């Protein structure tokens, strides 16, 4: 969410009515999340000036660990230098820390491609935004889920009940510090996750939604008391259930 919002912001800066705007003091502290969108807190160090040049050798974009040769345009400006400076700073301050983590395994190759392409400045801001939106579409639609044997068949569903929420086993990246609360596309994906975790014995798909509209599923290691809830369904591993308990 943070990286996508940043890319949308940089896309606007690259195509602003004032021309391409560069953030000269590009630091994480310069940004803040407001209603799920990244905002720049200080525009004092923003500039529309692009480096003047006479030849391509005048257009090297230097960073502490990398340098990039750019072209000198016919009007004597280094082509795309503001856009590329913003994008590489986004790569080194945000993408490298946030993109490799917390995405479903099937989507990680797409994020690695974005990371590598922006780190080498092979992508401009247009291509970067397009790549992010493709990943978001795959994530929201569930198209990244490969066709595998159904996992829900390993579970008994109890409609009209939910379990008592409390401190339980932890997982990463959980939305709760008390237990294992993860974003899922469906109960089938939740069942697959539960089957992959040795501690998991049951789960519920909650009414909570993430910023993408995906529900959160709570995974639990033991069967606690069941509470009547007309809108809920508890999924229990068949291997964990017993006649006495049910």
Of 7-11, 124-128, 141-145, 194-198, least confident by mean pLDDT is: 141-145
State the virtual CA torsion across 113, 118, 124, 128 in degrees, nearest 10: 50
Residue 224's pLDDT is 67
> Which residue has 């089957």 as its token pair?
195
pTM for the whole structure: 0.84
Catalytic residues, by residue number, are 25
pLDDT digits (tens, 9 = 90+) for 75-116: 999 999 999 999 999 999 999 999 887 788 889 999 999 999
Residue 111's pLDDT is 95
Q: How distant is the alpha carbon of residue 79 from its chain centre?
A: 30
Domains and their CATH numbers in the chain: 1-144 (1.10.510), 152-242 (3.50.4.10)
150 within 8 A of 143, measured Cβ to Cβ: no
Q: What distance in Å separates the CA atoms of residue 74 and residue 87, rounded to the nearest whole number?
A: 24
pLDDT digits (tens, 9 = 90+) for 152-190: 898 998 888 888 777 889 998 889 888 999 999 999 999
Residue 245 has pLDDT above 50, yes or no: no
pLDDT digits (tens, 9 = 90+) for 13-48: 999 999 999 999 898 999 999 988 899 988 888 999
Residue 223 has pLDDT above 80, yes or no: no
Confidence of residue 228 (pLDDT cuts 50, 70, 90): confident
Q: Which two tokens stand for residue 25?
A: 């003091």
Average pLDDT of the chain to the nearest whole number: 89
pLDDT digits (tens, 9 = 90+) for 55-82: 999 999 999 989 999 999 999 999 999 9
Start-to-end CA distance of the chain, whole Å, equals 41
């Amino acid at each position: 969410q943070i990286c996508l919002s940043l890319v949308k912001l940089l896309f606007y800066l690259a195509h602003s009515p004032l021309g391409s705007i560069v953030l000269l003091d590009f630091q994480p502290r310069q940004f803040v999340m407001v209603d799920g969108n990244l905002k720049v807190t200080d525009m004092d160090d923003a500039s529309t000036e692009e480096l003047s040049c006479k030849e391509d050798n005048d257009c090297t974009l230097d960073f502490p660990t990398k340098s990039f040769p750019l072209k000198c345009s016919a009007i004597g400006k280094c082509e795309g230098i503001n856009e590329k400076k913003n994008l590489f700073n986004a790569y080194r301050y945000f993408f490298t820390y946030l993109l490799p983590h917390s995405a479903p395994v099937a989507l990680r190759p797409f994020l690695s491609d974005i990371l590598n392409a922006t780190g080498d400045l092979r992508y401009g801001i247009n291509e970067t935004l397009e790549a992010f939106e493709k990943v978001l579409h795959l994530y929201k639609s569930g198209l990244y889920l490969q066709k595998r044997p159904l996992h829900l068949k390993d579970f008994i569903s109890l409609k009209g009940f939910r379990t008592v929420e409390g401190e339980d086993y932890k997982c990463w990246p959980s939305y709760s510090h008390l237990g294992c609360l993860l974003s899922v596309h469906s109960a089938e994906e939740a069942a697959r996750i539960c089957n992959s975790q040795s501690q998991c014995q049951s789960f519920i798909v909650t009414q909570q939604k993430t910023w993408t509209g995906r529900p959160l599923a709570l995974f639990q290691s033991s069967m606690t008391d069941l509470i009547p809830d007309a809108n809920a369904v508890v999924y229990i591993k068949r291997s964990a259930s017993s006649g006495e308990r049910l």
